[in-house]
Amino acid sequence: MAEAHPVGFQWVVEAKNRGAKVIHVDPRFSRTSALAHTHVPVRAGADIAFLGGIVNYILENEKDFREYVLAYTNASMIVSEDFQDTEDLDGLFSGFDPSTNTYDQSSWMYAGHEKHGQEHGESHVQRETAAGQQHESHGAPLPGDVPRDPTLQDPRCVYQILRRHYRRYTPEVVERLCGVPQAAFLEVCEAWTANSGRERTTALVYSVGWTQHSVGVQYIRTGAIIQLLLGNMGRPGGGVLALRGHASIQGSTDIPTLFNLLPGYLPMPHHEQHETFQQWIDAIRHPGQKGFWANAEAYAVSLLKAYFGDAATAENDWGYGWLPRLTGDHGTYRQALDMIDGKIKGYFLLGQNPAVGSAHGRAQRLGMANLDWLVVRDLYMIESATFWKNGPEVATGEITPETCRTEVFLFPAASHAEKEGTFTQTQRILQWREQAVEPPGDAHSELWFFYHLGKRIRARLAASTLPRDKGIQNLTWEYGDDEPSSEKVLQEINGYDLSTGDLLSTFNQMKPDGTTSGGCWIYTGVFADGVNQAARRKPGREQSWVAPEWGWAWPANRRTLYNRASADPDGNPWSSRKAYVWWDPAAGEWTGHDVPDFEKTKPPSYRPPEGATGVEAISGDDAFIMQGDGKGWLFAPAGLIDGPMPTHYEPAESMVRNPLYGQQANPTRKVYDRSDNPTNPSPPEQHTEVFPYVFSTSRLTEHHTAGGMSRQLAYLSELQPEMFVEVSPALAAERGLDHLGWAHIVTARAAIEARVLVTERLTPLRIEGRIVHQLWLPYHWGSEGLVTGDSANDLIGITLDPNVLIQESKVGTCDIQPGRRPVGPALLSFVEDYRRRAGLVPGHHTPIVTTHSAEDADGEQ
């Protein structure tokens, strides 16, 4: 955190000065560790084992906040008799289909509701479209009435299933698997549990490298399970908070730059699943389900009214037919491979530098070199605009500048100080920025670029009679003259009452009859009362400690989601120290320091009538109102591709055989099994000794991601002027590496070179009785800028988390050797030789299912 978020880290320092204990769990000793009381080195890629160990510690020592767990989680709910755990199936859950490597999830459902589970085949489509991301604002569909055992004794209740699942994640196993001594592990367990409960809460804060694993979503899930068990959700000082990798990454999922979502987490229509408007709406609101999502039609119609204005009518389903459709996986990595295969002809890159910043840099560059045209908008001439003339593939002869077919257009972009608009940060707070200076030369904002691009395309298509152009022709496209107004855009996002022309104040005003518009329903209210609420700058000392008048948070300016959980089931604060939102019986309403995340006048004692649906079905103690059952999920009966409970799988590349199950790695991980995307061998495969070390990559404080904004600046470049690799003294001795000398690092994809820093900040770990060396690389360098160097991301292959299609880029296996790497075509044959020695020859396929029974079957063949 100190390394990548130094400004935010000031609050950790302040907490430490006030007496907080700071523990840092990380493979390497970083700037964060330097300020922590304790640094716990851990093996990269073993986090579920570590956190699962904490779950086990909580359950076996009954350290859970029992009243909270009973009232607000699904601990007491009874799961289907058909459910089988990884403990029973050697690392697989019930329902696994080896032909698609996905699950039929019906057996994970609550008892008596198996038919509500995700059906066979559906899971496969959901993986292709990263459908799990819709759940950022609401849970997966679920029935409301579920059998429960409030004594938590039923062997099929979630609590007991969870206990059995994590029983083997003992401190001894954590030590063997993660390399963390038991005493250090128990110190973490004790600190976390002691600081949770009625009087205290603990926040789990992570940087988004945590998500970049083939089990990334399940890492976060394990953290969420701990926070639910300890009663740290929906309460002040609690939560699971992601430190985003750039400004407004939260904003770019709310109003997405993703292929599979529309604003406000509405799913992008799929050509088969959502053929009609009604199918699409029903897929969102799930008729019969309880919760606020039942109003989805109003949000969807308002979005279409914002897009298409008067052209959107009830008769034409509000223009639903004009929206594009998904046909499968169009994720960023699929696209890179499709470019290589010639399926994509043109591409826009906006403030993104995949030639350096994305996994498998070679595939990214070869893909871009096979386009007809590429538009790059950036502050500087970045590698993704010059790969065709000085990328690494030019040296190897794979790209010839004279014949490279891609026509690259570089458009200078305005920086954040040169334009106005909002940033949305991790707490969902929108903060308006003023423009400080005019952009230089021809540089313009993204808004200007797209506004004028849209105007020109619309002019070209004005006379078209093709049905496919109707959507473009009918777009509302009026944001000002030459320089479009950012405020106008934010107002359109906020939404209008179309009958009066007034701005809406809350999404509850949205209607499904076409009389309201709104570009992103969860942002409705940012222009409440006609005022730009995101621009509020009232200092903290002039308002309450929750600071509701600084910027504006979605939804409804609520600062902590699910804050009904900050009061006990009867509506009273859990403790006066942690009072936040509570029921005022005299006034007959919820009140407190924040905007209550509950219907204002629904008493804690409210119980829904038989057969109720939608908002009416939410009980007075259903704190997690956007979940189908109103409860926080310790066990996810639906919605996750890879299992209802996080399970330790080894990374896609590991030299360790999974000590817990026959199943080595996440069986549902998204793989692109093709010769230009090889995966280093892992047990039970042979030849793991060819790539005997673990590597991880991350950022330095001195540089920003792919370096486009830092390697161009002398004051930052001088602070970290060269690509380097950090190794422990033991590894340096083992491989003959000299401090400040050169080394090259090799995987099945690439070999890169770096200067060596030998440092005790890296420690070899003892895993399963053997020494595991980890090395660490920053990923900031490329071929442009004041300081240049090889890119660490070239080492990484494309293997993705199945839920959200994020790449596994924080752990892999490699070799390291002293000296510089070969250059020119010799580099290709050098890497080829490694592949040959590792058995990655034509016809090789990485095995996905590796349970012992599968292995036996292989042996018999």
* Contacts to another protein by CB under 8 A: 2, 6-7, 9-10, 13, 17, 29, 31-35, 39, 700-702, 714-722, 724, 739-740, 755, 757, 759-761, 786-787
Q: How far is the CB of 431 from another protein (least distance, A)?
A: 18
Find the DSSP H helices in 587-677. Answer: none
Token pair 């940060």 is found at 425
Pull the structure tokens for residue 334. Answer: 């699929």
For another protein, the closer of residues 415 and 759 by Cβ is 759
Q: How far is the CB of 774 from another protein (least distance, A)?
A: 15
- Residue 452 burial class via C-beta count within 10 angstroms: exposed 0-12, middle 13-18, buried 19 and up: middle
Q: How far is the CB of 794 from another protein (least distance, A)?
A: 20
- Residue 41 burial class via C-beta count within 10 angstroms: exposed 0-12, middle 13-18, buried 19 and up: buried
Of 202, 263, 663, the C-alpha closest to 493 is: 263
For another protein, the closer of residues 10 and 675 by Cβ is 10
Looking at residue 590, what DSSP letter applies?
Answer: E
Residue 155 CA, distance from chain mean position: 33
SS3 860: helix
Q: How far is the CB of 529 from another protein (least distance, A)?
A: 35
Q: How far is the CB of 708 from another protein (least distance, A)?
A: 17
For another protein, the closer of residues 40 and 337 by Cβ is 40
Q: How far is the CB of 16 from another protein (least distance, A)?
A: 8
* 165-196 CB burial, b ≥16 within 10 A, e <16: bbebbbbebbbbbbbbeeebbbbbbebbbebb
For another protein, the closer of residues 205 and 615 by Cβ is 205
Distance from C-alpha of 642 to C-alpha of 124, rounded to nearest angstrom: 11
For another protein, the closer of residues 183 and 586 by Cβ is 183
Pull the structure tokens for residue 339. Answer: 């470019």
Of 243, 239, 207, the C-alpha closest to 425 is: 243
Extract the runs of DSSP E, i.e. beta strands, from 404-491: 407-412, 421-424, 429-433
For another protein, the closer of residues 78 and 716 by Cβ is 716
Distance from C-alpha of 811 to C-alpha of 43, rounded to nearest angstrom: 9
Q: Are 140 and 217 in contact (CB under 8 A)?
A: no
For another protein, the closer of residues 42 and 805 by Cβ is 42
Q: Are 296 and 284 in contact (CB under 8 A)?
A: yes
Distance from C-alpha of 364 to C-alpha of 673, rounded to nearest angstrom: 16
Pull the structure tokens for residue 282. Answer: 């029903």
For another protein, the closer of residues 365 and 780 by Cβ is 780
* 535-565 CB burial, b ≥16 within 10 A, e <16: bbeeeeeeeeebbbbbbbbbbbbbbbbbbbb
For another protein, the closer of residues 754 and 806 by Cβ is 754
For another protein, the closer of residues 208 and 723 by Cβ is 723
Largest CA distance in the chain: 81
Q: How far is the CB of 8 from another protein (least distance, A)?
A: 8
Distance from C-alpha of 544 to C-alpha of 236, rounded to nearest angstrom: 14
For another protein, the closer of residues 182 and 276 by Cβ is 182
Pull the structure tokens for residue 260. Answer: 């599979």
For another protein, the closer of residues 462 and 740 by Cβ is 740
Pull the structure tokens for residue 832. Answer: 């080829």
Q: How far is the CB of 15 from another protein (least distance, A)?
A: 12
For another protein, the closer of residues 23 and 498 by Cβ is 23
Distance from C-alpha of 414 to C-alpha of 379, rounded to nearest angstrom: 7
Distance from C-alpha of 347 to C-alpha of 367, rounded to nearest angstrom: 10
Strands 373-378 and 407-412: parallel
Q: How far is the CB of 526 from another protein (least distance, A)?
A: 28
Distance from C-alpha of 441 to C-alpha of 174, rounded to nearest angstrom: 57
Peptide bond into 263 cis (omega under 30): no
Q: How far is the CB of 715 from another protein (least distance, A)?
A: 5
> CA angle 247-252-255, nearest 5°?
140
Q: How far is the CB of 760 from another protein (least distance, A)?
A: 4
Looking at residue 516, what DSSP letter applies?
Answer: B
For another protein, the closer of residues 715 and 861 by Cβ is 715
Distance from C-alpha of 172 to C-alpha of 175, rounded to nearest angstrom: 5
Q: How far is the CB of 788 from another protein (least distance, A)?
A: 10
Distance from C-alpha of 792 to C-alpha of 486, rounded to nearest angstrom: 37
For another protein, the closer of residues 13 and 823 by Cβ is 13
Strands 23-25 and 204-207: unpaired
Q: How far is the CB of 702 from another protein (least distance, A)?
A: 6
Q: How far is the CB of 737 from another protein (least distance, A)?
A: 13
Q: How far is the CB of 739 from another protein (least distance, A)?
A: 6
Distance from C-alpha of 739 to C-alpha of 735, rounded to nearest angstrom: 12
Cβ neighbour number for residue 6 with a 10 Å cutoff: 12
Q: Are 699 and 705 in contact (CB under 8 A)?
A: yes
Q: How far is the CB of 154 from another protein (least distance, A)?
A: 47
3-state secondary structure 54-95: HHHHHHHCCCCCHHHHHHHECCCEEECCCCCCCCCCCCCCCC
For another protein, the closer of residues 142 and 725 by Cβ is 725
Of 129, 249, 254, the C-alpha closest to 518 is: 254
Report helix, strand and coil shares of the chain as percent, to nearest 5: 30, 15, 55
Q: How far is the CB of 110 from another protein (least distance, A)?
A: 47
Distance from C-alpha of 654 to C-alpha of 513, rounded to nearest angstrom: 55
Q: How far is the CB of 181 from another protein (least distance, A)?
A: 13
For another protein, the closer of residues 9 and 333 by Cβ is 9
How many CA atoms does the CB half-sphere of 455 hold within 13 Å?
12
For another protein, the closer of residues 279 and 759 by Cβ is 759
Type of residue found at 76: S
